Amino acid sequence: MSPSRGKFITVEGGEGAGKSSNLAFMRDLLEQSGRQVVFTREPGGTALGEDIRELLLGHKHTGMAGDTELLLIFAARAEHLARIILPALNDGKWVLCDRFTDASYAYQGGGRGIDMGRIQALESWVQQGLRPDLTLLLDLPVETGLERAGQRSEPDRFESEQQAFFERVRQVYIDIAEREPERVSMVDASRPLPEVQQQIRGVMERFLDRVQNHE
Ligand code: TMP
């Protein structure tokens, strides 16, 4: 008998939202629940995707056109889906992904002002109906996030944007969470880490219960 399809979980958030440590925490929770987890990220996740990531985040092509940026992101996504995400899900594994298409709506749609209809068209072409089963949105005020992120290394091409860009990014994320409460759980990432993890644990436990009841 073929295994039941795995679940696809994504994590989103603005700069300095604490994605890395919270992703590691989520991975542990999933593994403790007995799931086999494939941990990956966007843009990236494959050799080709990581090359595209370098083009997108590096400073070699600072003035890249918005459409070029969007198409590169979806090219990396097509590769990621074909080589990593779909095979893993079909094999019964769970996929935990650091960012996915909500980031394209937030950064390219909100941040860059690209028409959302274009992003939708690419989403349906590349994903053919595949969407995350659960998305965790780590939300915090832009200023707090930038302060936290500022303490880290050299800013990449996105991190070099101005505060107004990140305000638009945040607003699109919040709009998505409000429109799709079934899929997207918003967590207040401005709280101290143990509290954030408490919120995340609650979301994950509810999701795992729901899945178990359907298996
Ligand atoms: P991060 O993984 O360190 O957050 O860096 C990835 C950057 O790429 C982040 O600034 C957001 C950006 N990005 C987009 O602009 N659109 C997308 O669809 C994705 C997945 C990421």
**Is the Cβ atom of 104 under 6 angstroms away from ligand 1?**
yes
Buried b vs exposed e over 69-84: b needs ≥16 C-beta within 10 Å?
A: bbebbbbbbbbbbeeb
Domains and CATH numbers, the chain: 8-214 (3.40.50.300)
- Please state the rounded mean pLDDT for residues 103-120: 98
Give pLDDT tens digits for 51-81: 999 999 999 999 999 999 999 999 999 999 9
How large is the greatest C-alpha to C-alpha distance in the chain, in angstroms?
53
Contacts of 8 (CB under 8 A, 6+ apart): 85, 89, 94, 95, 97, 130, 131, 132, 133, 134
77 Cα to the center of ligand 1, angstroms:
12
**Is the Cβ atom of 99 under 6 angstroms away from ligand 1?**
yes
Give pLDDT tens digits for 130-184: 999 999 999 999 999 998 887 777 899 999 999 999 999 999 999 999 999 999 9
pLDDT at position 14: 87
pLDDT at position 1: 61
What is the C-alpha R_g of the chain? 17
Pocket test for ligand 1, best of 74, 99, 101, 154 (most atoms within 8 A of CB): 99
Encoded amino acid at 170, one letter: R
- Please state the rounded mean pLDDT for residues 16-26: 95
* Cβ–Cβ under 8 Å, residues 77 and 42: yes
Residues in the chain, how many? 215
pLDDT at position 166: 96
Q: What is the pTM of this model?
A: 0.97
**Is the Cβ atom of 98 under 6 angstroms away from ligand 1?**
yes
Contacts of 51 (CB under 8 A, 6+ apart): none
179 Cα to the center of ligand 1, angstroms:
22
CA 12/CA 57 separation, integer angstroms: 17
